[in-house]
Every structure is written in structure tokens, then in C-alpha cells.
């Protein structure tokens, strides 16, 4: 296929990218309007994902039963399945657990980014890494200082920001594809 044919296909695909943009933007706005519902949805989605992952891992572990890692693969599958069931059947506790996990991850990644920024100091742009690290720590502190109340909204707000960000990205790509 020639470059022109690829360009034609890309140009024709802009509408699908625009549809993705609209769906993502609408989802993001809805998540911002009701962060608790978005947090609950994210928790349930994570629960179903862990259940699927655990079930598949258990099945896979029995496919390689003679392997030395069988027990570890089986335990990983069972643990994933238990986490998923816990999130699906007790989503409020799951929201608290996931929010706490996000806060810890933000704190740790923030510290790592700050140390990384210091090691990059002679490189142009190291300050942006530092700002990102500080922002991660500020978000973690915000969650910890508002915990457990933040558990009802933080994940939904993060989901909303991600959806809106993706929607903007998809929109710009769609407009670029349309102009090819």
C-alpha cells in the first residue's frame, strides 16, 4: 500500500477519533459532576478486572501443572480473584483501599521523581520533573489529610481528569487527521 493510500485511510478515520473524543469528554464531565458515582464505577471496574485476571491466572496455572512455579501462579490467581471479589461485593471498602493505595503510590513516585530531578539537574527540563514530583507529593498529602472522606471522590476526580485529557487529545488528533 502506498503512502497516499495510508494517508487517505487516516483522513477517513478522523470521524472515529472525533467520536472517541466526544465519548471521553462527556464521560469526563459526567465523572466531574458526580465524582462519587465515578469512584464507585472505577472501583467496580477494577474489581471485575481483578476477578477476570484471577480466573484466567488460575486456569493458566493448571495448564502448566508440572512446572515448578505452578503453586506461585495458582496463588497469584487466587489472590487476584479474592481482591476482585472483595472490590465487587464491598465497593465502599474497596474505594477506601484503592484511594489509600493511590495516595501511597503518589507519595512514593513523587519522592522518586524529586530524587530523579536532582540527578538530572544539569539537563534542560529537570525542573519539570521536580515540579511533577512535588505535585505528586502534594496530591498524596491532600488525600492523606482528607482520608477517609477523600475516598468517595478522589478516584472519580482522577478518572474525570483522565477522560477529559484523553478527550482533548482525541479531538486534536481527529482535527489533524481531518486536515490530512
Give residue-wise pLDDT tens across range 23-77: 999 999 999 999 999 999 999 999 999 999 999 999 998 887 777 788 888 999 9
Q: Is residue 74 part of a domain?
A: yes
The arithmetic mean of pLDDT across residues 102-116, rounded, is 94
Residue 62 is assigned to a structural domain of this protein: yes
- Asked whether residue 4 is assigned to any structural domain, the reply reads no
What are the residues whose beta carbons fall under 8 Å from the beta carbon of 8, sequence distance 6 or more? none
pLDDT for position 58: 94
Domain count, the chain: 1
The parent domain of residue 173 ranges over 15-178
- Is residue 137 situated within a structural domain? yes
Give the model's pLDDT for residue 123: 82
Q: Is residue 125 part of a domain?
A: yes
Give the pLDDT of residue 70.
84
Q: What is the pLDDT of residues 110-163, one digit of tens each?
A: 999 999 999 988 888 889 999 999 999 999 999 999 998 999 999 999 999 999
5 assigned to some structural domain: no
Amino acid at each position: 500500500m502506498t503512502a497516499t493510500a495510508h494517508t487517505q485511510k487516516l483522513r477517513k478515520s478522523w470521524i472515529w477519533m472525533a467520536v472517541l473524543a466526544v465519548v471521553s469528554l462527556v464521560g469526563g464531565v459526567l465523572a466531574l459532576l458526580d465524582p462519587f458515582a465515578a469512584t464507585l464505577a472505577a472501583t467496580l471496574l477494577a474489581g471485575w478486572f481483578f476477578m477476570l485476571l484471577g480466573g484466567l491466572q488460575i486456569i493458566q496455572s493448571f495448564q502448566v501443572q508440572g512446572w515448578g512455579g505452578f503453586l506461585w501462579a495458582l496463588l497469584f490467581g487466587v489472590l487476584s480473584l479474592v481482591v476482585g471479589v472483595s472490590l465487587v461485593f464491598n465497593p465502599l471498602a474497596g474505594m477506601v483501599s484503592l484511594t489509600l493505595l493511590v495516595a501511597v503510590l503518589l507519595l512514593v513516585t513523587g519522592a522518586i521523581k524529586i530524587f530523579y530531578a536532582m540527578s538530572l539537574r544539569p539537563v534542560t527540563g529537570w525542573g519539570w520533573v521536580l515540579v511533577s514530583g512535588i505535585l505528586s507529593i502534594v496530591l498524596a498529602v491532600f488525600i492523606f489529610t482528607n482520608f477517609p472522606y477523600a475516598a468517595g471522590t478522589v478516584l472519580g476526580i482522577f478518572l474525570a481528569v483522565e477522560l477529559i485529557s484523553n478527550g482533548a487529545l482525541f479531538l486534536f488528533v481527529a482535527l489533524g487527521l481531518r486536515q490530512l
